[in-house]
Chains A and B, each alone.
Chain A
Amino acid sequence: MLLDSHTARAWYRQMRLIRVFEERAAQEYAKGHIGGFCHLYIGQEAVAVGAFAALQPQDHIITHYREHGHAIARGMDINGVMAELFGKATGVTGGRGGSMHLVDKDLHFWGGHAIVGGHLPIATGIAFGLKQQGGDGVVLCIFGDGASNIGMFHESLNLAAVWKLPVIFLCENNRYGMGTAVARASAVTNIRDKAQAYNIPGTDVDGQDPEAVYETMQNAVSHARAGKGPVLVEAETYRFVGHSMGDPERYRTKEERKEWQDHGDPINRFRRSLEERAIVTAEEFAGMDAEVDQQVEAAARFAHESPFPAGETLHRHIYVESAGGQP
């Protein structure tokens, strides 16, 4: 793939932003500034960055709870994301949702969903809406390998195919659903093959390579945008950290993880490749690294300094308060 320097830098910067953001989130979690259940994306950054590069502003995204990377790749304000993790009033949902429920309606980012598989049917509804309204937008629906075993996955693929909806089902196969390896939970171990049951094209891609992800996603998006119906893309990837904070990771060997970290780190790999191809210079990398560090530092500061929401605000968000219905 011919990558221009501007795009290459943007992708590198974004991947690194996701990584540094999450490393900081892990530190803040350890210090007790972030609570609850927090799932990191470290190791999978190329999937988000490559996939989102293939989207347009009119497209929609809906995803699961491991979504810090997706939010950042879509361009969400990292101050608001960090503040949400801190449970602050300035967080993207005012502290009501936390890490697993980041949303930005302006960016058509319908956000993270903590009930595994729960958002797949919703993706079909959004795609149905887009189709009925006659635009050319598509829906990117992201989930894990584990989610492909729940009934909602199967119902959604079938609906999307029967109704020929513009949805790209993007499965981030990181080889485990929590502590369960794919082969222990799924009779069909290539998730892409499940698409065949519903007459949907399924492809796989190296999820550690943003260029490959971008190209595959470009094809998938064009297919859906052209009205040819849904596509399933399986990105082969790996999470370098535990399922959530405090996972002793007894279900995999240290060697296996090290192998991926040493040879499959998407950021190192991309950087090396850009250096070899002389697309980005060492100086440019250093400049971007420093910028990203500052940006994350500023986000953490913003989150620390922001106020907590007041308890009385709790009642405000339950119902739509304006009168309903058409005039």
Chain B
Amino acid sequence: MPVMTYLEAIKDGIRHEMRRDPNVFVIGEDVGGYGGAFKVTQGLIDEFGEDRVMDTPLAETGFVGAAIGAAYMGFRPVVEMQFIDFIACAFNQITNMAAKSHYRWGQQCPLVIRGPSGGGVSGGPYHSQSPESYFVHTAGLKVVMPATAADAKGLIIASIRDNNPVIYLEHKFLYRRVKDDVPGGEFVVPLGKARLAREGRHISVITWGAMVHTALDAAGQLEKDGVSLEIIDLRSLVPWDKEMVLASVKKTGKVIVLHEAPHTGGFGGEVSSYITEHAFSWLDGPVRRISALDTPAPYSPPLEQAYLPQAHDIVRVSRELAAF
């Protein structure tokens, strides 16, 4: 199996779909000759030309709206936000137009909006955010957050094939740091199926995106203390794999919900509440949540470290839970 970085895997998936389906096209700022700010789309223009790898003016509302219209016409646009933070500029088009067209008149809108999210690179307040909560709260949208290279490919393909608008949140810290075996050619990871990232006995850690790796790191440290973490990588938040989560919770009886986005209103609250509603009698302790702080993402490295959840936070909370 070819080894690819997370970034290459995303591109491999997009390329695969562009070859398979002439209605798939890429659109965004400097996605063509420049190859995108992080080079996710580099080289696609050479194979598919300017009509299918379209550079846009700096106009998020405009080009997201145009992609929605093209999706109505039967195309399958893959829109790049240069940084996911700029998706706020297209919020109306996404939440009011794309999300509701099927509800209002049965109009499908097969659209993917993807881009680099997340922190850890000193991006500061406008280049580090994890905006999944804004979108999980809007019915009609699906939300995907891959953690591994293989999933990055399998999920982008599933997202492109999905007949609904999908927000696909890549993690910029993982782009070149995560590298794994990725099946070549056709490879689909269905939305709504979580992945057991690590089997364990004592505590279920429910997480997604870059935090999967932070949790694995913590699990390694805790193994020595005899605390065994089971790590579930949700992979997609809408829909999310309630079955796998409940099965794990019923096995371990203790849960940490972990995410990189800030605490209040974070999707962790949803997961946590679902677990207490549906598996209360299996719980041997409170469902604990670990997240970023309720502040904007700071620029300065020590501030950003304090802001983002770290492996030592998971270790600390796991010990507390284990002793509960």
User: Given A115-B86, A150-B58, is A98 in contact with B124 using a C-beta cutoff of 8 Å?
Assistant: yes
Q: Mark B41-63, 1 if CB is under 8 A from A, else 0.
A: 00000000000000111111110
Q: How far is the CA of A118 from the CA of B300 in the complex (A)?
A: 23
Instruction: Kindly name the residue among A118, A151, A179, A250 whose own CB sees the greatest number of chain B CB atoms within 10 A.
Output: A179
User: Given A179-B33, A308-B301, A309-B300, is A150 in contact with B295 using a C-beta cutoff of 8 Å?
Assistant: no
Check B58–A185 contact: CB distance below 8 A.
yes
Q: How far is the CA of A94 from the CA of B303 in the complex (A)?
A: 10
Q: Which residues of B contact A100 (CB under 8 A)?
A: 124, 126
A40-99 contacts to B, CB under 8 A, are 87-88, 91, 94-99
Q: How far is the CA of A186 from the CA of B303 in the complex (A)?
A: 39
Does B247 have its Cβ within 8 Å of any Cβ on chain A?
no
Q: How far is the CA of A94 from the CA of B59 in the complex (A)?
A: 32
Check A97–B303 contact: CB distance below 8 A.
no
Does B146 have its Cβ within 8 Å of any Cβ on chain A?
no
Does A121 have its Cβ within 8 Å of any Cβ on chain B?
no
A107-127 contacts to B, CB under 8 A, are 114-118
- How many residues does chain A have at the interface if contact means C-beta atoms less than 8 Å apart? 43
Does B139 have its Cβ within 8 Å of any Cβ on chain A?
no
Check B86–A180 contact: CB distance below 8 A.
no
Comparing A1-9, A218-226, A312-320, the segment that makes contact with chain B is A312-320
Q: How far is the CA of A250 from the CA of B298 in the complex (A)?
A: 32
Check B30–A178 contact: CB distance below 8 A.
yes
Check A311–B30 contact: CB distance below 8 A.
no
Q: Mark B292-314, 1 if CB is under 8 A from A, else 0.
A: 01111011111101110000000
For the complex formed, measure the closest distance between the CB of A72 and the CB atoms of chain B, giving whole angstroms: 19
Does B265 have its Cβ within 8 Å of any Cβ on chain A?
no
Q: How far is the CA of A250 from the CA of B43 in the complex (A)?
A: 13
Q: Which residues of B contact A151 (CB under 8 A)?
A: 59, 61-62
Q: Which residues of A contact B301 (CB under 8 A)?
A: 35, 87, 308
Does A163 have its Cβ within 8 Å of any Cβ on chain B?
no
User: Given A115-B89, A308-B300, A314-B307, is A149 in contact with B295 using a C-beta cutoff of 8 Å?
Assistant: no
Q: How far is the CA of A177 from the CA of B28 in the complex (A)?
A: 13
Q: How far is the CA of A212 from the CA of B152 in the complex (A)?
A: 52
Check A149–B303 contact: CB distance below 8 A.
no
Does A146 have its Cβ within 8 Å of any Cβ on chain B?
yes
Residue B306 contacts which of A94, A184, A312 (CB distance < 8 angstroms)?
A: A312
Residue A180 contacts which of B30, B124, B303 (CB distance < 8 angstroms)?
A: B30
Residue B29 contacts which of A37, A114, A178, A317 (CB distance < 8 angstroms)?
A: A178
Q: Which residues of A contact B298 (CB under 8 A)?
A: 95-96, 314
Does A17 have its Cβ within 8 Å of any Cβ on chain B?
no
Q: Which residues of A contact B55 (CB under 8 A)?
A: 180, 184-185
Q: Which residues of A contact B296 (CB under 8 A)?
A: 96, 318
Check A96–B30 contact: CB distance below 8 A.
no
B301 to A, closest residue via Cβ: A87
User: Given A179-B33, A314-B293, is A97 in contact with B299 using a C-beta cutoff of 8 Å?
Assistant: yes
Q: Which residues of A contact B125 (CB under 8 A)?
A: 96-97, 101, 114
Does A227 have its Cβ within 8 Å of any Cβ on chain B?
no
Q: How far is the CA of A263 from the CA of B144 in the complex (A)?
A: 51
Q: Which residues of B contact A101 (CB under 8 A)?
A: 124-125, 299
- How many residues does chain B have at the interface if contact means C-beta atoms less than 8 Å apart? 37
For the complex formed, measure the closest distance between the CB of B238 and the CB atoms of chain A, giving whole angstroms: 26
Q: Which residues of A contact B69 (CB under 8 A)?
A: none
Check A36–B303 contact: CB distance below 8 A.
no
Q: How far is the CA of A35 from the CA of B300 in the complex (A)?
A: 8
Does B121 have its Cβ within 8 Å of any Cβ on chain A?
yes
A313 to B, closest residue via Cβ: B303
A282-327 contacts to B, CB under 8 A, are 308-315, 317-318
Q: Which residues of A contact B305 (CB under 8 A)?
A: 311
Does A147 have its Cβ within 8 Å of any Cβ on chain B?
yes
Q: Which residues of A contact B37 (CB under 8 A)?
A: 178
Check B300–A98 contact: CB distance below 8 A.
yes
Check A95–B126 contact: CB distance below 8 A.
no
Residue B57 contacts which of A98, A149, A311 (CB distance < 8 angstroms)?
A: A149
Q: How far is the CA of A35 from the CA of B121 in the complex (A)?
A: 7
B55 to A, closest residue via Cβ: A180
Q: Mark A204-216, 1 if CB is under 8 A from B, else 0.
A: 0000000000000
B302 to A, closest residue via Cβ: A308
A312 to B, closest residue via Cβ: B306
Check B34–A114 contact: CB distance below 8 A.
no
Q: Which residues of A contact B302 (CB under 8 A)?
A: 87, 308-311
Check B89–A150 contact: CB distance below 8 A.
yes
Check B299–A98 contact: CB distance below 8 A.
yes
Q: How far is the CA of A312 from the CA of B293 in the complex (A)?
A: 11
Instruction: Kindly name the residue among B34, B125, B295, B303 whose own CB sees the greatest number of chain A CB atoms within 10 A.
Output: B303
Does B184 have its Cβ within 8 Å of any Cβ on chain A?
no
Check B59–A95 contact: CB distance below 8 A.
no
Check B300–A95 contact: CB distance below 8 A.
yes
Does B127 have its Cβ within 8 Å of any Cβ on chain A?
yes
A318 to B, closest residue via Cβ: B295
Q: Which residues of B contact A94 (CB under 8 A)?
A: 300
Which residues of B are at the interface with A, using a C-beta cutoff of 8 A?
29-30, 33-34, 37, 55-62, 85-86, 88-89, 121-127, 293-296, 298-303, 305-307
Other than A150-B61, A179-B34, give 4 A-B pairs with Cβ distance below 8 A: A95-B299, A98-B124, A101-B299, A180-B58
Q: Give 23 A-B contacts (CB < 8 Å), ordered by A residue.
A: A95-B298, A96-B298, A99-B124, A114-B127, A115-B89, A117-B58, A118-B89, A147-B58, A149-B59, A151-B59, A151-B61, A178-B30, A178-B37, A180-B29, A180-B57, A185-B58, A250-B33, A308-B301, A309-B300, A309-B303, A311-B302, A311-B305, A318-B295
